Chains A and B, each alone.
Chain A
Amino acid sequence: KAGVTQTPRYLIKTRGQQVTLSCSPISGHRSVSWYQQTPGQGLQFLFEYFSETQRNKGNFPGRFSGRQFSNSRSEMNVSTLELGDSALYLCASSPLTSGGIQETQYFGPGTRLLVL
């Protein structure tokens, strides 16, 4: 099975611009989560999607948004970029379980965003 893919891998933007990152989960995985990784804050949860619905959201401003499509692919968008948004953005997919327990998350390689 192909792993989680993220595009683009690297991105340079300037303050005030917006950016859209894409994630394709492992085939059959319907839960997709997004994380921001920075040296100072570590790995922080952004949001989780399942069947095109955002089920959970971390403590990020409304400039961070996302969506999931019917094929489980997901995008996240950051509007009005700030210098502090420079980070590695990770996407992870997870299979559905019947017991309500999250199975292993499979992470993509990430998109490294640099805001100048």
Chain B
Amino acid sequence: GDSVTQMEGPVTLSEEAFLTINCTYTATGYPSLFWYVQYPGEGLQLLLKATKADDKGSNKGFEATYRKETTSFHLEKGSVQVSDSAVYFCALSMNTGGFKTIFGAGTRLFVKA
């Protein structure tokens, strides 16, 4: 079945370090891909998305490119801040007559000052 695999956390970085959170997926069709973020004490919210191959989603300095050939959607940020500390979820969404979204397990990021 469809699935999303993302790197296990927690990931601990110093401020201004480079961030990569790996995400790979398995899907029978052509899904849309998403990164959602859950800040401490807050609800889940969209960070960025890409709906077709080679699309790049970007927001708040984060980027991810939809790579169909490697079935990946890795999240990157050039310089993290303490305020980026959160749990990041990679997700795919399929339209199979209705929408079904599959989430990865989540990766907790800690950024130290």
Q: Which residues of A contact B (CB under 8 A)?
A: 31, 33, 35, 42-45, 48, 50, 54-56, 58, 90, 92, 94, 100-102, 104-110
Contacts and interface: CB of A to CB of B under 8 A. Distances in A.
A104 B103 contact: no
A33 B95 contact: no
B43 A102 contact: no
Contact of B101 (A101, A105, A108, A110): A105
A109 B98 contact: no
Interface of B: 32, 34, 36, 43-46, 49, 51, 89, 93, 95-106
A104 B49 contact: yes
B96 to A, nearest CB: 6
A42 B105 contact: yes
Nearest to B105: A42
A33 B99 contact: yes
